[in-house]
Each structure stands twice: as C-alpha cells, then as structure tokens.
Amino acid sequence: MKKICLIVLAAIALSVFAIGPSWAGSVDKLIDKLVEKQILTRQEAKELVEQMQAEEAKEAKEKKEVAAASTSTAFSMPDWVANTKVTGDVRVRHETSDTVGDTDSTNPKKAIPDRNRERVRLRLGVQTKINEQWDIGFGLASGSSDPRSNDQTLEDTFSAKDIKLSYAYAQYTPAKWARIMAGKFKNPIWNTNDLIWDPDINPEGAALALKYEAVKNVELFANVCGFTLEEFSGKANDPYMIAVQPGVNFKLPGSMYLKAAGTYYNFNYVDGNDWTKNGGWGLGNSKKSNSQDAAGNWLYDYDSFVGDAEFGITKIPGPIPYASVYGQYVHAIGPRENNDGWLAGLKLGNKDIKDFGDWQVSYNYRRLEKDAWADFLADSNAYNGNTNIKGHKIYTSFGIYKNVSLGLNYFNFEHIQRTYDDTQTVLQADLNVKF
C-alpha cells in the first residue's frame, strides 16, 4: 500500500512538474530518488514517464485543435472573398484642340476657336472567382452615358461628377481553352489598334472565347460574339451585331511573334434608324458622318470583313527592348462607294509601362472612308469619332514611379471628302496612376 501511494504521489508530482521545460530537471531527480529508495523499479519509472509524456502530448494536441477551431470560427471568410481582385486607375488630363473650318455645311467657313480643358477619369474593377468554373466581374467609371468616353471635364463651379456602371458580367469556364461571357464586358475581339473600335467601349450581349495550343509555339484562338446595339420598346426588330473572329498567334525564334486574325461583322437592322437621336445607341453618339437618307436614317447596315496583324520582338538587347509593327484593314460589304479603311503603325520601347524609366512611343496613320464602318463605334479621338477621315496619331508614355506614368498624345486629322480646309489637331497631356 505504501508503494502504491508513493507511485500515485510520484504521478501527481510528474503531472505538476512536467507542465514546462523548467521543471524537467526536478522531475528527473524525483524519479531517480524513487528508484534509489527502491520504491520504483527502473522499468516502472520508465513506464510512468512514458505514460505522463503521452498524456502531455495528448493535452497539447487538444489545446492546439481548440485554438485552431476558435481562430477559424472567428476569422473565417468565404473562398470567393479571398479570390477577389480589385484594380483601377486615375487619369488627370490637360487637353487642347484646334479645328480649322467647320462641319456645318450651312456655314463652311466658320472658324472654331481653340479649346482648352482639364479632364479626369476614374476606373475601378472587381473580379471574383466564385468557384473553379464561374467568375463574375463589374466595373465603375466616371463619365456620362457616352460609351466612348470615361472622361469628366472639370467645369460648372466644382460640380460633383457622375459615376456609371462600366461593365457587369458572369463568366463560365467549362475548360481551360474555353470561356463564355454574358452581360456587359470588355471587348473580347482582338484589335491591333483603334481604327474601328474605341477602346472605352464595353459591348453588351454574350461571347464565346476559345484558345488552344495546336502545336508547340502555335496558338489558335477564336471569338464568337452576339452584341445588342439597341432595344426599341415600339419595334420588334432590335438592332444587333454578330462577330466571328478566328486567329493564330505564332511564337517565333529570337523572342519574336506574329499574331493575325480575320473578323466578319454582321450588322442587323442598323439601316433605317437614326443613330443620333435618343432612340439610337446612346444620346447623339453618332456624328452623322455615315450616309443617311433625307429623313436622317442610316442607308446601310455595315457588314464588314476586318483583318488584323502584328509582328513584334519582345526582348531586344540595347536601349529599345521591344518593337512591333501592326496594321488593320476593314472593308464594308455591299453596293456602295467609300467603303474601305486601313491603319498602319509602329511601336517602340517597353511593351508595358510599370516602373520608373519604362517608356513607349507609338505612331500610326489611318484612313477610314465614309461608309467603311459604323461611326458610332470608331475612336472618339480621331476627329470626334467621325468616318471619312485620314491622319496621324502619336502616343508617348514614360514611367516616373512604379505604376505612375506621364503620357502625351497628338492627333492630326482631316476629312477625306471636303470642300474646304477642316483639319483638327488635338494635344493631350496625361498623368496616369494605376492600382
């Protein structure tokens, strides 16, 4: 009985003294003393220590699990929150424009004065991966209902500026090589530049995007899109567009690449509507540069074939790390004149402006005839978005800090068919900050 009591006392002592490493020496001395007094055999002492160590390890594990469960309960978030990305940018711009002549045929010699203005643009985008196959995204931007501009002019004695829904979409990815988008989204159609699509336009409808590496260094891609142009409450035939674009991207030796695509655009129910009124796409988005009948309705749909190509070198030793040449051609189908357009350009510098010292210079010349393309889609900076124009665009950018850059844009355009001098020159100085 005395031996049993001593063993129990030893066990209690072990459970007390073994709570921390500072007591390890005392426990060892106690064990040795009990063995020395022949109260415990060496084997009994060993078994007792092993038992206490096992109990201690079990208790430590249980405490760790309880602490982890408590932390998880207090701070757990849905997976989609962790998979959310937020991006955006702010641009501050000074713009000056000078137009010699006037497009008003009733007064063709009227002089338009120079215009100077300050403008600001804000864009905020959110993309969330809901699960392995579904994503959603939305974006907010400054601007008005004009789909071709997110700029707000600083005016009206410090008036508040509008924020609009720039895009909102759902995306389904059934396989790595396929995406299906629906809603309002960034333009999935690949364009080398902005001859026919203003870069601020986010089309609406649905799109299928395919991308597949057929063989090493040869990637095939295709885009099939259905875009809503307008919804008329009093008409059954709403204007819409179908676009089909197959393309190929070659990765060539020496960090070179060649990318090319052809696109067929099928416009429906565009002709017969006035795209300058509050029944067309946007309020006065067209510039009336396409052919119209006596009532102001469009004479043509703008079914077109478009070809794009770009050749570039991404890693060049020396002061010019990147260079590319690019071109775009559009031909409107149908019995009409003035139905062709083309653009050719060159880009030098860094491919992207990310850090201090990154730079880029780009130049292109374009010619877009009167009925080559729908004028409510073309670049708004090229003579206000008109067709029937030709001219030059120069763009420069320089990184002054990480994600901060300065830019300078120069536009010089004139009408192809004209009866008087009507050149427009625009200069834009930008401060761009991305986040």
117-139 per-position pLDDT tens digit = 999 999 999 999 999 999 999 99
- Supply the pLDDT for residue 195: 97
pLDDT for 390 beyond 70: yes
| 359 — pLDDT class (breaks 50, 70, 90) | very high
Over range 252-257, report the average pLDDT: 96
Tell whether 131 and 58 lie within a shared domain.
no
Give the CATH number of the domain where residue 302 resides.
Answer: 2.40.160.10
| 279 — pLDDT class (breaks 50, 70, 90) | very low
Tell whether 242 and 111 lie within a shared domain.
yes
127 vs 109, which has greater pLDDT? Answer: 127
Tell whether 216 and 364 lie within a shared domain.
yes
63 vs 143, which has greater pLDDT? Answer: 143
- Supply the pLDDT for residue 78: 77
Tell whether 283 and 238 lie within a shared domain.
yes
For 95, the token pair is 């713009």
Contact (CB, 8 A) for 306 and 328: yes
> Among 75, 91, 107, where does a domain finish?
75
- Supply the pLDDT for residue 11: 52
Helix spans in 247-390 (H): none
How confident is the prediction for the chain on average, in pLDDT? 88
Tell whether 94 and 194 lie within a shared domain.
yes
Lowest-confidence pick of 20-24, 125-129, 174-178: 20-24
Percent of the chain with pLDDT over 70: 86
| 282 — pLDDT class (breaks 50, 70, 90) | very low
| 72 — pLDDT class (breaks 50, 70, 90) | low
Say which residues have a Cβ less than 8 Å from residue 18's Cβ, sequence separation at least 6: 24, 27, 52, 53, 56
Tell whether 56 and 96 lie within a shared domain.
no
| 7 — pLDDT class (breaks 50, 70, 90) | low
Tell whether 322 and 263 lie within a shared domain.
yes
Number of H helices, E strands in the chain: 4, 17
Lowest-confidence pick of 99-108, 163-172, 324-333: 99-108
Lowest-confidence pick of 213-222, 235-244, 257-266: 235-244
Over range 98-104, report the average pLDDT: 69
pLDDT for 161 beyond 90: yes
Contacts 24+ apart (CB under 8 A), 296-301: 297/271, 297/272, 297/273, 298/270, 298/271, 298/272, 298/273, 298/274, 299/271, 299/336, 299/371, 300/270, 300/271, 300/332, 300/334, 300/336, 300/371, 301/267, 301/268, 301/269, 301/270, 301/271, 301/334
Q: Among residues 117, 273, 309, which one has the least CA distance to residue 195?
A: 309
Tell whether 410 and 274 lie within a shared domain.
yes
- Supply the pLDDT for residue 278: 55
Tell whether 293 and 413 lie within a shared domain.
yes
pLDDT for 428 beyond 90: yes
- Supply the pLDDT for residue 169: 98
408 vs 51, which has greater pLDDT? Answer: 408
Tell whether 55 and 155 lie within a shared domain.
no
Report which listed range, 12-26, 124-138, 262-276, is most confident. 124-138
Number of domains in the chain: 2
- Supply the pLDDT for residue 84: 94
> Among 15, 40, 75, where does a domain finish?
75
pLDDT for 106 beyond 60: no
What's the whole-model pTM score? 0.80
Residue range(s) defining the domain that contains residue 228: 82-434
pLDDT for 222 beyond 70: yes
